[in-house]
Amino acid sequence: MVESRLSNLRYAMVCASNQNRSMEAHALLKEHNFRVGSYGVGQHVKLPGASAKEPNVYGFGTPYKLIYEELSAKDPELYTRNGLLKMLHRNMGVKTAPERWQDCRDRYDVVVCFEERVFDACVDDLQKREQSLCRSVLVVNLEVKDNHEEAANAAPHALRLCQMLDASEDWEEEIDAILNVFEKETGRRPLYTICFY
């Protein structure tokens, strides 16, 4: 059942390139009326190419539609077979373009990362920012392999975690209990820390 009201908290979904894992979760949370954004932490957006030595590289801010059109023109059979065109089509329905976490100045209550190095980059970035508001932000990592199947499997887990956090009276007091229940339900034990704005 889709929630009819907006979420209490604001959520950010973060992966390396803001293409697969973060966007799968973003799409699902958006569908459930969560106030959600998504980002990548890499220097560039990298997508698989014809070989491992030839990735498709784009700057953050390049519209998903443009990437879709370029890959469709380059090798429609390859990019249909490997799922990139389907992924980009989904992304176009969620937002205009991939965004870089380090350039984001929106403030979130919860940041969900999908890889430990992404988690480390987000925490490092938050710790370098001016912390003038004394407002806490929960940064959580759900370790997820960067492929379409794993992203699809992890998105409902991200949604469930966000539902549990949103339903809590005080996530800072309840976080350990929430994560214990989450681990029992999903088999995933998230890594987390608390940072400040």
Q: pLDDT tens track of the chain, all 197 residues?
A: 455 578 899 999 999 999 999 999 999 999 999 999 999 999 999 999 999 899 999 999 999 999 999 999 999 999 999 999 999 999 999 999 999 999 999 999 999 999 999 999 999 999 999 888 889 999 999 999 999 999 999 999 999 999 999 999 999 999 999 999 999 999 999 999 999 99
In a shared domain, residues 177 and 122:
yes
Specify if 173 maps to a domain. yes
In CATH, what number is assigned to the domain containing residue 165?
Answer: 3.40.50.2300
In a shared domain, residues 81 and 106:
no
In a shared domain, residues 30 and 125:
yes
pLDDT at 158: 98
The domain tally of the chain equals: 2
**Whole-number Å distance between alpha carbons of 6 and 35:** 6
In a shared domain, residues 80 and 111:
no
Q: Are 103 and 60 in contact (CB under 8 A)?
A: yes
The last residue of a domain, from among 28, 62, 92: 92
In a shared domain, residues 33 and 125:
yes
**Whole-number Å distance between alpha carbons of 114 and 107:** 19
Residue 12 host element (H or E): strand 10-15
Which 3 state secondary structure label does DSSP give 41? coil
In a shared domain, residues 87 and 111:
no
In a shared domain, residues 107 and 33:
yes
Residue 35 pairs in a beta bridge with 10
pLDDT at 195: 96
Whole domain around residue 35: which residue ranges? 10-42+100-196
Residues whose CB falls within 8 Å of the CB of residue 58, separated by 6 or more in sequence, listed in order: 44, 45, 47, 67, 98
In a shared domain, residues 59 and 132:
no
**Whole-number Å distance between alpha carbons of 86 and 50:** 17
pLDDT at 118: 99
In a shared domain, residues 121 and 160:
yes
In a shared domain, residues 63 and 127:
no
The last residue of a domain, from among 92, 109, 125: 92
Specify if 1 maps to a domain. no
Which 3 state secondary structure label does DSSP give 196? strand
In a shared domain, residues 25 and 119:
yes
